């Protein structure tokens, strides 16, 4: 009996350690980009606009600029924000999961690292959605499928122009909330 | 809070601040006195009041003639500088360099294109090889001394300013107003960032294209970009470091002081290297508690740690220029222009293809300040990348340091038989100009003829590379490279040879021996301790 309990506890510990060490790589993905930062951003923006399913750009932010304004340096980081009302509406209309609005809009991060290469950071929407029941799981599964299309590039096509700022926004604050369909 | 407590607390706070700053001052390494503020007006003359400058000048040379009435030696001095001659001689090898002689990795060479290129010459009228370098009134005083920011020189005018309202570029709808020469002449002053930047920020035909560490972002820089030029901080102008004597500007791309030694001296002193970091900071610039860093200065240039990236702005810099795609037309058979995702030039049927990048991680090399340049007529090996400049130095050279560099790559035309890089006639409206008729053969033939070089009639394209040591855009000290950014297997200096770098380099046998010894020691301690505990228990 002692052996069984011991084995069970050991199993739980091993699984716990594995889950802890793999958590970050399961929840988030990092993919190298064959292009520079600006071109990667522009191509992802173009893909978002072409993928359908109600996806629209909500904004492009550069958190590095705030660091620079404070006198510090950071390698470039660009946050592409996108939203689909098709997927956001059912979540926003449900009191039980409305708190998941903190994950909106959907973000794709493009950044340079010290090796000089450009990387794309994404949230694993599919896995994360499964944690919140079947309804959210299904919606986030679709989001994950579209996310994968955001980062499929056709290098034979010329680089599109990067769309700066928040498309459709006429001002700051709540006025920007009408942008990007979310 | 009671007023008395508030007063006492305020007094204590002030005392604490004063004490702290006194300690901070003690901890600081020896430093040269601060330079006078560039923005402070110190002139004793009001040029508006000079009768000689109250004329309606029609040309630039007329203004210069007026300047020379008082500044009798100025033109002679300028005529001995690289800004005038576009020529430089290597003091060690005797090699003739300078814009006139080298073939660079951008617009290549001004020969036969003088009317365009001389928009950045400190003179008037250099339109071909007949230009007389001795005529004093052809020296352009205003390009460096204008303080109005309205003095413009455009390609195509052989260095003359805009005399009449002009559309530039042609067909763009953008209008450049004629320069009010009288107003500019009366408003002269010491050169500021606008004067230097007019050429040095826009070299290579676009903002930030050429150097990598110079662009219009340095016009009004904030602290993150350049601690010295920070507009709200030290606010250095270019001339604060590049001090001049008899119009000779210190600090040169051609004769770089790669390894300046010794203590700091007074900034502005016109010795051989006032534009070096060491001039103000000395070669032991770090405080005592960071003395280890001072031991790096005999191998590492200051710039290596303190300029972690260059082109740290949205303007970016050009990484490559491929001339081989020039003359390629658009789908409609007409010349086309394309921009990259950030709105920078990416392709032009006239000039080829460019690749740009912002926040560039430098490539690091040993450098002793010596560069051998590819000059007109030098033989090349087209099977290898042609080095536009060979950066000298190595780990065993005491004059060498590890420097951050901007390596610009390209493809240029060359003569397949004579094995020389070619000169090509690009600008102009004549039938041989590449940007007019899109015919490489005619353009090269005309360029080589103007340069007095033989041309076989067969051309190809060869890969080229130009290396720029990086020295501007110094980051705040908190943003200097961290130890592990170099001291690691795949760190910034992973390709640097000839120096032992802890954490990057190691001897497997030595490492194994060391770890074995450490392990044996640990085992020995544990066994010894265990025995002591056991025997103590038994005795107890």
ipTM: 0.82
Query: Which among A73, A76, A161 has the least Cβ separation from residue B224?
Result: A73
Say if the Cβ atoms of B342 and A73 lie within 8 Å. no
The residue that leads in pLDDT, B421 or B89, is B421
* Pairwise CA distance, residues B236 & B238, whole Å: 6
Same domain for B236 and B149?
Answer: yes
pLDDT band for B42, please (50, 70, 90 cuts).
low
Any domain includes B25: no
C-alpha distance from A42 to closest chain B C-alpha (Å): 6
- The two three-digit tokens of residue B356, written as one number: 């740009």
Tokens 């081989």 locate to B324
Q: Both B316 and B246 in a single domain?
A: no
Q: What is the DSSP letter of B239?
A: H
Instruction: Please tell me whether residues B422 and B314 are part of one structural domain.
Output: yes
Could you tell me the maximum CA-CA distance found in chain A, to the nearest angstrom? 69
The pLDDT of residue A159: 93
How does pLDDT run across B313-322, given as a tens digit for each residue? 999 999 999 9
Instruction: Determine the residue of chain A that is closest to B310 in CA distance.
Output: A75
Choose among B438, B387, B379, B449: nearest CA to B414: B379
Q: Residue B20 falls within a domain, yes or no?
A: no
Same domain, B74 and B164: yes
Strand partners, A123: A28
- Asked if the model's pLDDT at residue B171 lies above 80, the reply is yes
Residue B401 included in any domain: yes
What per-residue confidence (pLDDT) applies to B528? 95
Burial label for B27, CB within 10 Å (0-12, 13-18, 19+), is exposed
Name chain A contacts of B312, Cβ cutoff 8 Å: 73
DSSP single-letter state for residue A82: E
- Does A76 contact B225 at a Cβ distance shorter than 8 Å? no
- Report the distance separating Cα B418 and Cα B452, nearest Å: 14
**Average confidence score pLDDT of chain B:** 89
Contact between B264 and B32 under an 8 Å Cβ cutoff? The reply is yes
Residue B12 lies in a domain: no
Say yes or no for a CB contact (<8 Å) between B361 and A68: no
Together in a domain, B512 and B418: no
B68 neighbors B77 (Cβ within 8 angstroms)? no
Q: Per residue in B107-155, pLDDT tens?
A: 999 999 999 999 999 999 999 999 999 999 999 999 999 999 999 999 9
Contact flag B224-A71 (C-beta cutoff 8 Å) = yes
Q: Is the CB of B476 less than 8 angstroms away from the CB of A71? A: yes
Q: Which of the four pLDDT bands, split at 50, 70 and 90, describes residue A24?
A: confident
Say yes or no to pLDDT of B161 above 90: yes
Compare all CA atoms of chain B with the CA of A114 and give the residue at the minimum distance.
B361
Taking CB atoms and an 8 Å cutoff, what residues of chain A touch B224?
67-73
Point out the least confidently predicted range of B95-104, B439-448, B460-469: B95-104
How high is the pLDDT of residue B457?
97
pLDDT band, very low/low/confident/very high, at B537 (cuts 50, 70, 90): confident
Q: Is B476 on the interface with A (CB under 8 A)?
A: yes
Same domain as B376, residue B289: yes
Report yes or no: B119 and B153 within 8 Å, Cβ to Cβ: yes
**A50/A164 Cα distance (integer angstroms):** 17
The Cα B266–Cα B415 span in angstroms is 51
Q: What is the pLDDT of residue B276?
A: 85
Residue B59, Cβ density class (10 Å: 0-12 exposed, 13-18 middle, ≥19 buried): middle
Number of domains into which chain B is organized? 3
Instruction: Judge whether residue B270 has pLDDT over 70.
Output: no
Helix (H, G, I), strand (E, B) or coil at B22: helix
B22 domain-assigned: no
B182, B318: one domain: no
Q: How confident is the model at residue B266 (pLDDT cuts 50, 70, 90)?
A: low
* A112 pLDDT more than 80: yes
pLDDT value, residue B22 = 39
Yes or no, beta carbons of A41 and B341 under 8 Å apart = yes
Q: Quick check: is B301 in a domain?
A: yes
Domain that holds residue B109: 47-87+104-270
* Average pLDDT of the residues in B22-49: 56
Q: Is residue B4 part of a domain?
A: no
- Cβ distance B225 to A72 less than 8 Å, yes or no, reads no
Mutate to test the interface with B, among A33, A35, A36, A153 (most CBs of B within 10 A): A36
| Closest partner CB to A114 (pick from B357, B361, B475) | B361
Provide Rg for chain A, Cα atoms. 19
Relative orientation angle of helices A133-150 and A85-92, to the nearest 10 degrees: 160
CB contact under 8 A, B359 and A75: yes
Domain boundary among B254, B270, B286: B270
Of B312, B341, B478, the CB nearest to A42: B341
Mean pLDDT of all residues belonging to chain A: 87
| Alpha-carbon gap: A45 to the closest alpha carbon of chain B (Å) | 11
pLDDT in the model for residue B92: 83
pLDDT of residue B31: 43
Q: Does B225 touch chain A (CB under 8 A)?
A: yes
What pLDDT was estimated at residue B272?
56
B 296-325 → A contacts, CB under 8 A? 308-309, 312
pLDDT band at A149 (very low <50, low <70, confident <90, very high): very high
Instruction: Band the pLDDT of B379: cuts 50, 70, 90.
Output: very high
Query: Which residues of chain A have a Cβ shorter than 8 Å from any chain B Cβ?
Result: 36-39, 41-43, 67-73, 75-76, 112, 114-116, 158-162
Across the interface, do B224 and A37 touch by the CB < 8 Å criterion? no
Give the mutation candidate from B212, B309, B341 for the A interface (greatest A CB count, under 10 A): B341
Q: Domain end: B237, B270, B303, which one?
A: B270
Domains, chain A, ordered by start: 25-154 (3.30.310.70)
């Amino acid at each position: 009996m002692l052996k069984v309990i011991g084995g069970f506890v050991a199993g739980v510990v091993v699984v716990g350690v594995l889950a802890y060490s793999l958590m970050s790589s399961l929840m988030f993905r990092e993919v190298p980009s064959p292009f520079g930062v600006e071109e990667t951003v522009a191509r992802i923006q173009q893909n978002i606009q072409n993928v359908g399913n109600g996806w629209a750009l909500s904004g492009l932010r550069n958190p590095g600029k705030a660091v620079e304004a404070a006198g510090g340096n950071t390698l470039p980081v660009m946050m592409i924000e996108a939203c689909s009302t098709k997927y956001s509406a059912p979540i926003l209309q449900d009191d039980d999961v409305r708190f998941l609005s903190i994950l909106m809009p959907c973000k794709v991060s493009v950044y340079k690292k010290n090796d000089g290469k450009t990387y794309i950071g994404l949230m694993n929407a599919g896995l994360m959605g499964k944690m919140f029941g079947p309804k959210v799981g299904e919606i986030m599964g679709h989001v994950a499928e579209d996310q994968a299309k955001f980062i499929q590039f056709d290098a034979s096509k010329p680089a599109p122009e990067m769309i700066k700022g928040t498309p459709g926004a006429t001002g700051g604050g709540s006025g920007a909330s009408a942008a990007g369909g979310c | 809070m009671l007023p008395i407590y508030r007063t006492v607390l305020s007094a204590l706070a002030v005392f604490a601040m004063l004490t702290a700053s006194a300690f901070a001052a003690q901890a600081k390494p020896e430093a040269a006195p601060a330079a006078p503020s560039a923005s402070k007006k110190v002139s004793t003359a009001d040029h508006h009041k000079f009768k000689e400058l109250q004329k309606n000048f029609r040309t630039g040379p007329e203004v210069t003639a007026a300047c020379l009435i008082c500044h009798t030696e100025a033109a002679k001095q300028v005529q001995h500088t690289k800004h005038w001659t576009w020529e430089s001689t290597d003091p060690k090898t005797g090699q003739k360099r300078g814009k006139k002689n080298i073939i660079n990795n951008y617009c290549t060479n001004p020969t036969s294109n003088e009317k365009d290129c001389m928009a950045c010459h400190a003179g008037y009228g250099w339109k071909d090889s007949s230009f007389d370098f001795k005529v004093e009134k052809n020296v352009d005083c205003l390009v460096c001394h204008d303080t109005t920011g309205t003095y413009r020189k455009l390609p195509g005018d052989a260095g003359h300013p805009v005399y009449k309202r002009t559309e530039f570029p042609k067909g763009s709808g953008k209008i450049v107003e004629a320069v009010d020469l009288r107003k500019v002449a009366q408003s002269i002053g010491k050169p500021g960032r606008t004067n230097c930047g007019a050429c040095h920020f826009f070299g290579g035909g676009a903002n930030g294209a050429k150097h990598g560490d110079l662009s219009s972002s340095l016009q009004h820089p904030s602290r993150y970009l350049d601690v010295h030029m920070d507009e709200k901080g030290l606010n250095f102008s270019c001339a604060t470091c590049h001090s001049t004597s008899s119009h000779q500007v210190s600090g040169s791309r051609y004769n770089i002081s790669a390894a300046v030694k010794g203590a700091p001296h007074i900034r502005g002193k016109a010795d051989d290297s006032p534009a070096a970091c060491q001039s103000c900071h000395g070669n032991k610039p770090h405080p005592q508690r960071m003395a280890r860093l001072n031991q790096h200065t005999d191998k590492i240039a200051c710039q290596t740690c303190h300029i972690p990236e260059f082109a740290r702005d949205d303007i970016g810099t050009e990484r490559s220029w491929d001339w081989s795609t020039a003359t390629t037309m658009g789908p409609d058979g007409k010349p086309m222009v394309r921009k990259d995702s950030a709105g920078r030039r990416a392709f032009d049927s006239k000039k080829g293809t460019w690749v740009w990048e912002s926040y560039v991680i430098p490539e690091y090399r040993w450098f002793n300040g010596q560069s051998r340049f590819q000059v007109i007529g030098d033989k090349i090996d087209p099977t290898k990348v042609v080095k536009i400049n060979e950066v000298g130095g190595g780990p065993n050279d005491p004059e060498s340091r590890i420097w951050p560099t901007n390596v610009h790559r390209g493809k240029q035309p060359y003569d397949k038989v004579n094995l020389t890089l070619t000169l090509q006639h690009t600008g102009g409206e004549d039938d041989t100009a590449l940007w007019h008729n899109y015919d490489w053969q005619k353009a090269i033939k005309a360029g080589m003829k103007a340069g007095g070089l033989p041309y076989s009639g067969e051309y190809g394209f060869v890969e080229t590379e130009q290396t720029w040591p990086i020295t501007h855009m110094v980051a705040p000290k908190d943003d200097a490279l961290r130890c592990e950014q170099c001291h690691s297997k795949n760190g910034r200096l992973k390709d640097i040879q000839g120096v032992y770098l802890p954490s990057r380099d190691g001897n497997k046998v030595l490492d194994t021996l060391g770890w074995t010894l450490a392990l044996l020691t640990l085992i020995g301690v544990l066994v010894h301790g265990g025995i002591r505990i056991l025997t103590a228990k038994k005795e107890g």
